[in-house]
Structure 1
Amino acid sequence: MIVTQITHHDLDGYGASTVAAAFADVPRVVHVARYSDVGPVVEDELKRLRGATASETLLMTDLGLEEPTIAFLRRFAAMNRGRAEGTHHRLVVLDHHASSIDQLKRQNLETAPDPERAGLLRADLGDPEVFVLIDEAHCATRMAYDQRALYAPAAKVPGETAAADLAALIESVEALDLWKKGEPAFAGGLALDEMFWDSVSTLVPASHPWHDRFVSDLLMAAAGLLRAGSTPAELERRSGELRARLVDGLLAGEAGDDPTLTARQRLARALARSDALFHRLSDGTLLSFGLDSGTFQRVSDQVMEAGRAKRVVNVQRAGTLSFRSVDGTALDGARAFRGGGHRD
């Protein structure tokens, strides 16, 4: 069964996607930064699932439930009731926010202790394939591990080392996410969080197929160092080494790779050949969304040097635009949006 995951854009959200990938094949992961943005994302998934002929699983992790998301839960259950026998989709919602319980009550969806899972609350949508589970005592990363049978009934079995690293990751993320400052794992969780934010958007963009693999492998490698006794300072010092090693693996056999360059410069050359990052406009301009500024600078340069486009535009996360060109038109574009800069 195909599994799609929608998860929060923070350490716990990526921890949950790392756990899910350890036990199931998850070909597509969508990361959402704000709970208020979840509604449009799940509505798009609902449209897609309505047209899917075979059963699929939608896994939602670490996303506070707000009114549009709760409306989606009801529409998902209604859609399932209209599907043919044997083609029902499964929805698994793993959440740990107290606000979600309040929001469910406001929308007349009460939660009650789940009879099959001690310590968890479940909202009843009247559909046996819809699991809306809330556990205030644990983070989403641990919930993804504890409830893996719901989305990975034929779970992959991680090797002994991977299983130990996964356990260390879960312990560190939980200590950090629930702010358990008295626990030994808290300092490691802080170090993981710093490394995560330093790396999540600056090397492999979220819209690229390598993104989730890269971040998950980085988190697992860092958790392995913590498990082996590395201090937060040692993890910080070795983070560049970890990233470089992962880039070596990603770019093994990649044409034109130059290992004498920095990890970011090497990746930019590969990313510039990707169609996944850009939308071509009618005038030949390539448009990207949400690329880190440094990544956009390097990738756009490689794109234009290769002759793929004369102008590249990035819509940044703050909503501003960045123009780059090789024919003097970047400044014209910037002026049209009351900006400025150099000709290219």
Structure 2
Amino acid sequence: MRLIQITHHDLDGYGASTVAAACAPVERVVHVPRYSDVGPVLEDEIKRLGKATEGEILLMTDLGLEEQTIAGLKKFAALNKRREEGRRHRLVVLDHHASSLDQLRRLGLEPLPDPARPGLNRVDMGDPEIAILIEEEICATRMAFEHRALFASHEPGTDLSSLLAAIDAVDLWRKESPAFRGGLALDEMFWEAVSSFVPVGHPWHDRFVSDLLLAAAEILRTGASPAELEQRATAMRTGVVDAMLREAPDDDPALTTRMRLARALARSDTLFRPLKDGTLLSFALDSGTFQRVSDLIMDAGRAKRVVNVQRMGTLSFRSNDGTALDGARLFRGGGHRDAAGGRLQSGSAFSMTDAIAQVEPVLNPEKPAGSDSPFAALKNWKG
């Protein structure tokens, strides 16, 4: 079955996606930074699953369950009930937040303790294809590993024990654990790499982060200190990027890692989406990556204007024809002719699809039918 994962945008969330990828072919991973955004993301997936002809697996990891998300779980159950036997979807929710237990009870879904596993709570949705598990005493990365039978197609081909121990210790803040200091070092390395090299949304993103985490965990397994891990982080990152760019037609190892990756990112058909006027839109890129990649895109002639939409609602326009400022003005912004910024009316965006839905009608408003007709002016004439 096709496997899609929605997970948190932190070390534990990426640890869970690393474990999932080691156990099954994961087609797509959606990383969500804010629990308040999980509901809309889940709603989009449910709409897509409603049209899917074959059954799929939706795996949700390390996401606190808030009211809109729980409503989505109920909607998933209702959708599955309407589907034919043999084409039903599977939903696996692996969470470890105490707040999720509170919210579920408040909304009429009573989590029941698992008699065979102390600390584990299950929620019965009346559908054998839905597994909602909440286990406070372990991190989501370890939950993904220990409950892998719910979604896995094979056993991991690598030893994940040091990764599990490090993330478990730091995510649950178990300072007495021998793995805690290594977990802190792993967390530092993660945050330095997760957003500023291969952005979320690019097909290489999860491979890049997971390969780094696995390489770092292997170093920790040999007994390396946090200082040694930090010292070797650059070499690890270079090794991962060398492997990714081995077939790249324009790679230049004399450049910095970010410069090398920018060339590959500029060719992406998924990182940037075209709007009706030819503007290319990206979502949630850090400013340095957007600056480098947008310049390469315009130099290659792929677009004359690009815009990056951040989750908190800020927009950055770049152009090579003087139209960046024109775009920014439509979003209460300003700046230079070829470098300007503005802000979404709603104040935030939760996905690429949401960003396009908010930007497109402002940049390219629909004209009323017949408005281009020479008779349109006469129709509205009051003389």
State TM-score, norm by structure 1: 0.95
Instruction: State the distance in 1 between where 2:80 and 2:327 align.
Output: 47
Q: How far apart are residue 115 of structure 1 and its match?
A: 4.3
Larger radius of gyration: 2
1:178 to 172, 175, 194: 172
Q: Establish whether residue 220 from structure 1 lines up as the match of residue 219 from structure 2.
A: no
Aligned equivalent of 1:80: 80
Determine whether 1:312 maps to 2:311: no
Equivalent position amino acid for 1:27 in 2 = E
SS in 2 for 1:40: helix
The CA deviation string for residues 82-130 of structure 1, in whole angstroms up to 9 with x for no partner, is 2111222111110100001100110011111224545311011111111
- Structure 2 counterpart SS, 1:288: strand
Please name the residue that 1:299 is paired with: 293
Q: Work out the CA distance in 2 between the residues paired with 1:294 and 1:211.
A: 16
Matched, 1:279 2:292: no
Offset at residue 320 of structure 1 (A): 1.0
Q: How many Å separate the matches in 2 of 1:141 and 1:231?
A: 22
Could you say which residue in structure 2 is the equivalent of 1:269? Answer: 263
Query: 1:340, 1:74 → 2: CA distance?
Result: 44
Structure 1 residue 335: deviation in Å?
Answer: 4.0
Counterpart of 1:232 in structure 2 is 226
Structure 1, unmatched stretches of 5+, are: none
Instruction: State the identity %.
Output: 69
Structure 2 alignment gaps of length 5 or more: 339-383
SS at match of 2:5: strand
Q: Which amino acid aligns with 2:154?
A: A
Measured in 1, the distance between the counterparts of 2:191 and 2:151 equals: 28
2:102 corresponding residue in structure 1: 102
Aligned to 1:9: 9
Question: Which residue among 321, 327, 330 is the counterpart of 1:327?
Answer: 321
Rounded Cα–Cα distance in structure 2 between residues aligned with 1:41 and 1:116: 33
Shift of the 82–339 alpha-carbon distance from structure 1 to 2, 3 Å rule, reads closer
Aligned AA for 1:185? A
Query: Following TM superposition, by how much is the alpha carbon of 1:69 offset from its aligned partner in structure 2, in angstroms?
Result: 1.2
Correspondences of 1:114-153 after superposition (within 5 Å) = 114-115=114-115, 117-152=117-152
The match for 2:89 is 89
- Provide the residue aligned with 1:155 in structure 2: 154
2 CA distance for matches of 1:179 and 1:101?
Answer: 20
In the alignment, is residue 64 of structure 1 matched against residue 64 of structure 2? Answer: yes
Runs of 4+ in 1 over 4 A off after TM superposition: 115-118
Local SS of the residue matching 1:184:
coil
Separation in structure 2 between the aligned mates of residue 11 and residue 251 of structure 1, nearest angstrom:
25
* Residues in 2 aligned to 1:52 and 1:115: alpha-carbon distance in whole angstroms: 36
Residues 82, 332 of structure 1: CA spacing in aligned structure 2 closer, same or farther, 3 A cutoff?
closer
Tell me, in whole angstroms, the C-alpha distance in 2 between the residues paired with 1:329 and 1:88. Answer: 49
What root-mean-square deviation, in Å, do the aligned CA atoms of Structure 1 and Structure 2 show? 1.3
- The question of 1:211 aligning with 2:194 is answered no
Count of residues in correspondence between the two structures: 338
> Distance in 1 between the 2:326 and 2:58 partners?
44
Q: Which residue of 2 is the match for residue 18 of structure 1?
A: 18
- Alignment-mate amino acid for residue 78 of structure 2: A
Partner deviation per Cα, 1:274-311 (whole Å, 9 max, x = no partner): 11111212222211111111000100011011111111
CA distance in 2 between counterparts of 1:48 and 1:200 reads: 27
Secondary structure of the corresponding residue to residue 103 of structure 1: helix
Q: Which amino acid aligns with 2:174?
A: K
Mapped to 2, the partners of 1:58 and 1:332 lie a distance apart of 41
Counterpart position of 2:237:
243
Deviation at 1:334, TM superposition (A): 3.2
Deviation, 1:68, is 1.1
- Structure 1 counterpart of 2:353: none
**Quick one: which amino acid aligns to residue 94 of structure 1?**
L
1:113 aligns with 2:113: yes
Query: How far apart, CA to CA, are the structure 2 residues paired with 1:332 and 1:54?
Result: 46
Distance 2:123 2:275 in 1: 45
> Among 222, 241, 252, which residue is 2:246 paired with?
252
